[in-house]
């Protein structure tokens, strides 16, 4: 019998150790394993329930309730099980879990009947929200309120944590002081000054996060950054996770401490912990400002970015009579053949054009076609399609390269090939407001010079402006 009792106590100590360290899954696993191997035990059911409740999720709350209920079936008068179950029920949302919330007052009365004036009775008396009554502050709000109270009054967090620890040990039945001691001890560790500042100054922290989100959201369209740059707002989430995890683990460690015997209620506490006040106007105003600023920035960024995406430049098409000494040949039969190269863009409402230049109308030196309109959603491989159309003619292709698009923007791609043993170069361009191609003889120019010649032809014909397209 003593050996079995020793095994149970050892299993309880292991599970509670995991719970105090914030290893909730390991605590549950150890408690379940011991319950299976050693049979029912009130402390193991208590630890299993607390390890579920510490996750602060609906599914885990349901499992915590099941653990408490199963423990109370075997140990109906266990004070700590009744207290933990009563706290879970009283803290539940009466709209979401009305049956569970309704069990809270009855469980609290049972605790007070079994141990009037005990620390457990005082805990359930300070329980969660009740139907028809004012909502009590959440555990995390109470915790942050107490931490801010201490950090604002001391210069040395380590000494404050040590003193709070001594006072918590002197009053083991004071849950609030136990949570404060665990939290201060965790915050006082080296390298956690940023977390202490975040706990001490929640309003400035929230405003800084909001400012970062606003700057990122507005910078994306203002600086023409890619859409995924907006994901930079998510860096504020990992910044808050360490503090939230630290607070949650501190509450779990305080809840996992051994049951406390009754003590002198007149013993002093450190620091004096006043009632947690309702949210101040400053906090509510800051929350409203943060929410409004982030939502407004998000909407503005989205609308602004979409307008940039959907916008396209309007061009006036006006071909010069001469280009680099070459005369425009409007009556050239070659112009008709060039016009046949223009894709059918009537569905897009585009306007097309074609020109040829050179001294000989039958053998022009430069040929070009193009179209103006709304091409903001043109496929990324449109230029490749233009080149593939040229290659489909069966002419040998020597090389192809990407070129700088010039002052009109967009993209440009060139290739060199042969037509009846005559070397030629084609440069195709595409931007949100125009597309087209320039064909000319390859006279041994470098890639950059050839692309520059094509850019000059494009810029000589297309003129950025807001007027309707007109062809000369």
CA dist., res. 113 & res. 111, Å (int): 5
Strand locations in 274-365 (E): 315-317, 322-323, 326-327, 351-357
Joined together, the tokens standing for residue 15 give 């599970």
CA dist., res. 447 & res. 28, Å (int): 70
* Partners of residue 369 on adjacent β-strands: 354, 437
The pLDDT tens digits of the residues spanning 230-282 come to 888 888 877 778 888 898 888 888 877 766 554 444 444 455 567 777 777 87
The pLDDT tens digits of the residues spanning 416-448 come to 988 877 888 999 999 989 999 999 988 888 999
End-to-end CA distance of the chain: 106
The pLDDT tens digits of the residues spanning 156-180 come to 888 888 888 888 888 776 778 888 8
CA dist., res. 178 & res. 292, Å (int): 37
The pLDDT tens digits of the residues spanning 292-311 come to 888 999 999 989 988 887 78
| pLDDT(133) > 90 | no
Q: What is the pTM of this model?
A: 0.54
pLDDT of 2:
52
The pLDDT tens digits of the residues spanning 345-387 come to 766 778 899 999 999 988 899 999 999 988 887 776 677 776 6
Confidence band for 131, pLDDT divided at 50, 70 and 90: very low
107 — phi, psi (to 5°)?
-65, -40
Handedness of CA 91, 94, 100, 106 (dihedral sign): positive
CA dist., res. 12 & res. 192, Å (int): 32
CA dist., res. 94 & res. 204, Å (int): 33
Joined together, the tokens standing for residue 426 give 């084609």
Pairing state of beta strands 411-419 and 422-430?
A: antiparallel
């Amino acid at each position: 019998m003593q050996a079995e009792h020793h095994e149970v106590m050892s299993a309880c100590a292991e599970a509670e150790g995991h719970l105090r360290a914030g290893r909730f899954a390991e605590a549950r696993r150890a408690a379940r394993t011991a319950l299976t191997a050693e049979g029912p035990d009130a402390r193991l059911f208590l630890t299993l329930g607390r390890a579920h409740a510490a996750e602060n999720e609906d599914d885990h709350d349901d499992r915590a309730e099941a653990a408490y209920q199963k423990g109370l079936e075997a140990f109906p008068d266990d004070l700590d099980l009744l207290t933990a179950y009563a706290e879970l029920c009283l803290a539940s949302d009466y709209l979401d879990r009305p049956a569970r919330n309704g069990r809270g007052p009855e469980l609290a009365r049972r605790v007070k009947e079994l141990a009037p004036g005990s620390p457990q009775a005082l805990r359930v008396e300070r329980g969660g929200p009740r139907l028809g009554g004012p909502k009590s502050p959440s555990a995390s709000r109470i915790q942050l309120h107490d931490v801010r109270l201490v950090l604002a009054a001391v210069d040395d967090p380590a000494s404050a944590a040590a003193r709070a620890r001594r006072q918590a040990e002197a009053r083991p039945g004071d849950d609030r002081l136990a949570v404060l001691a665990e939290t201060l001890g965790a915050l006082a560790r080296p390298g956690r000054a940023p977390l202490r500042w975040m706990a001490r100054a929640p309003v400035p922290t929230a405003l800084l996060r909001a400012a970062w989100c606003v700057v990122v959201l507005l910078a994306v369209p203002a600086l023409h950054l890619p859409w995924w740059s907006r994901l930079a707002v998510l860096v504020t989430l990992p910044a808050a996770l360490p503090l939230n995890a630290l607070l949650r683990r501190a509450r779990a460690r305080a809840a996992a401490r051994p049951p406390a015997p009754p003590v002198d209620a007149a013993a002093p506490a450190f620091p004096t912990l006043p009632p947690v006040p309702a949210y101040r106007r400053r906090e509510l105003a800051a929350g409203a400002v943060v929410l409004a600023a982030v939502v407004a920035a998000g909407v503005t960024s989205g609308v602004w970015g979409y307008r940039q995406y959907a916008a396209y430049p309007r061009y006036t098409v006006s071909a010069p009579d001469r280009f680099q000494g070459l005369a425009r040949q409007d009556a050239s039969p070659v112009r008709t053949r060039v016009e046949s190269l223009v894709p059918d863009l009537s569905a897009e409402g585009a306007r097309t054009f074609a020109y040829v230049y050179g001294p000989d109308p039958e053998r022009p030196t430069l040929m070009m076609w193009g179209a103006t309109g709304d091409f903001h959603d043109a496929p990324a491989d449109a230029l490749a399609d233009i080149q593939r159309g040229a290659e489909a003619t069966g002419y040998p292709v020597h090389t192809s390269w990407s070129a700088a698009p010039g002052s009109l923007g967009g993209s440009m791609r060139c290739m060199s090939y042969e037509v009846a043993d005559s070397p030629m170069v084609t440069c195709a361009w595409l931007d949100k407001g125009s597309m087209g191609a320039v064909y000319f003889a390859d006279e041994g120019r470098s890639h950059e010079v050839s692309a520059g010649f094509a850019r000059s032809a494009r810029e000589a014909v297309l003129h950025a402006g807001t007027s309707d397209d007109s062809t000369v």
